[in-house]
Amino acid sequence: MSRGVRLVGLGIVKGLIETARNFIGSYRDPRRLVTVEYPEVRLPPVERARTFPMLVYDGADPEAGLRCVACKICEKECPPQCIYIEADRDARGRVLKRPRVFDVDCSVCMGCQICAEVCPFDAIKMNTEYELAVADRFGGLLLRKSQLVRSTEYHRTVHPQEAVEIDAQVAQARARAEAKARAGGGG
């Protein structure tokens, strides 16, 4: 057993000095206060944060620029089945490559990110908005397409690294498709 302690009770005094140093230090140096006073002060966005899904669109128009082609892979893969998609149809009833209805029930969604991982078109990504409280817990938590769409700029603000990579890929694929179309048109 160690004989280090000469005077019993000295540890209490040491502890008291430590807490007094904290007490006085927190007034002298505000950097000691680790509390983020939430509504006024917010933490900087975190790259890997996620809450619920969002639909990314290119350009300025959410309808025209929507990357989603209504392939319904996410709907099928969603473990709690919180996604509901209906493909749009033209006047003759042919299926178009865009969704007419895209709903996410975020009272059911568990934020697993599987939809975002399986999407071949990088159309569905995870949002980081967390102030989602609503007064109506049934209708209010069912997010419609119009509430889900977010621009690529927004995507870049919430997931900077991921968005830059994906935007590059999307641009590359589009360039390839255009080149192919030109080549096809020329031949």
Neighbouring C-alpha atoms within 13 Å toward the C-beta of 125: 29
Q: Which token pair is 173?
A: 């694929």
Choose among 184, 183, 155, 149: nearest CA to 168: 155
Does 8 engage in binding with other proteins (CB under 8 A)?
Answer: yes
* Residue pointed to by tokens 């895209």: 102
Residues 23-62 that bind other proteins (CB under 8 A): 23, 25-27, 32-35, 37
Does 1 engage in binding with other proteins (CB under 8 A)?
Answer: yes
Does 18 engage in binding with other proteins (CB under 8 A)?
Answer: yes
What span, in angstroms and rounded, lies between the C-alpha atoms of 79 and 184?
A: 41
Min dist CB 41 to other proteins, Å, is: 12
Min dist CB 9 to other proteins, Å, is: 7
Q: Which residues bind other proteins (CB under 8 A)?
A: 1-2, 5, 7-9, 12, 15-16, 18-20, 22-23, 25-27, 32-35, 37
